[in-house]
Amino acid sequence: MKTSIKTCIMLLFIVTLFSCSSDDDASTTIPEGYFFKTKIDGNSFSATIPEFGASKTGNTITIACVQGIHKFQLKINNSIGVGTYTIPTTTANTIVLSYENDVVVYQSGICGTSGTLTITAISSNEIAGTFTFSAGNTDDCGLPQKNITQGSFKALLAGS
């Protein structure tokens, strides 16, 4: 009987020990509600944290996404706010939207390409928006362009 009680107490202790979690372990928590999605020449593409993120360094905001062979970068120089920006820009704002498929880099604003970036929300710790652009091959404008459509994102904004 004493052995059964000791066994039950030991099992209860072990179950309690392993079923508790620490609130200090925030580094493994992946926030929900953040996303990056678009269509590449009509084919759907999407990613969630940790495959993408956004950072701010000085006046530059970079939203980057890497998933397999697909790499996106939305880079915005100079301060911007909520609004729609045309690419190529005609103001002091420099906006570069690019896509890479592991071999070829495509970029907006070259080879006669254009696009739009709409910032729908921006704060000190989040940025959200939509985008669409055609992108030219950075090595040869004679090669076919990529059409990036129905793009949208909501990201944590790291940095200062």
- CA distances (Å), 132 to each of 15, 151, 157, 159, in order? 52, 6, 21, 26
The better pLDDT of the pair 74, 93 is held by 74
Question: Does the reported pTM lie above 0.95?
Answer: no
pLDDT digits (tens, 9 = 90+) for 98-157: 999 888 999 988 888 889 999 999 998 899 999 999 999 999 999 999 999 999 999 998
- Amino acid making up residue 114: S
- Amino acid making up residue 67: Q
- Report whether pLDDT(10) > 60: no
How far, in Å, CA of 65 to CA of 95, rounded? 16
> Span 70-76, mean pLDDT?
91
Give the CB-side neighbour count of residue 33, counting CA atoms within 13 A: 5
pLDDT digits (tens, 9 = 90+) for 15-43: 332 233 334 444 446 678 899 999 999 99
